[in-house]
Amino acid sequence: MASLQNSPSIHRTLLPNSLPQKNSVSPVVCRRSISFLVRAENISMASTSICQDNCRRRQMIAVGVVAPWVSILNQSPASFAAESKKGFLSVTDKNDGYSFVYPFGWQEVSIEGQDKVFKDVIEPLESVSVTKIPTSKQDVRDFGSPQEVAQILINKFLAPPTQKTKIIAAAEHEADGKIYYTFEFTAQAPNYIRHALGAVTVGNGKFFTLTTGANQRRWDKMKDRLETIIDSFKTFDVLM
């Protein structure tokens, strides 16, 4: 501010005649006037800067509020329903026509003969997998009752022949016009028991099987999450 007050160009601009004249304003008054003008200009610039900062903050707040809603509105109903489950991630296979959710933190792994597999790397018995085989049948009921289908799957595909298996429950339900079988079973190995759930259905010329489970010692802790996985499993029609 001092350099601006002592600048000759500013004095020449404000005082055309450098010598004092009658009724002229004294240099002291002029310097005060210049100082006042400089302070006024600084205040004006500061006010403009504050206004701009406030505007930018309001814009950022507006973006922060609006953006999540735009993201939600742009999601398809199926993906939004899956992702709204706290602690789960969704999987949608648009080629084969199925979807399900799995707990956050499970990792995808590749296993021969299985279409999708996600598992907990710390608790390897905690996993979910999907398999598919071609079929000419149009309804899962064409393969038999829920108990019969569950027994065949468990004995031939879902547990090694050396393990002792037991079916706890098997049932049928309908969702979006499609029939699903669900079942619960245990498979006993020499050093552990796996408690598992399964779901099967037919769609798009394929027989789908989803299975999930956990070590028996962790069943009480994992039961609700595993049931959420089973309940989320759905198939949908795709163009063949």
Name the residue ranges covered by the structural domains of the chain: 2-70, 77-235
Cβ burial, residue 209 (10 Å; 0-12/13-18/19+): buried
pLDDT given for residue 76 in this prediction: 41
pLDDT given for residue 85 in this prediction: 80
* Amino acid code (one letter) for 96: D
CATH superfamily, region 77-235:
Mog1/PsbP, alpha/beta/alpha sandwich (3.40.1000.10)
Residue pointed to by tokens 């499993």:
233
Provide the whole-model pTM: 0.66
- The 3-state DSSP class for residue 146 equals helix
Average per-residue pLDDT for the chain = 78
pLDDT band, residue 79 (cuts 50/70/90)? very low
Q: How far is CA 161 from CA 60, 195, 212, 236, in A?
A: 61, 16, 19, 33
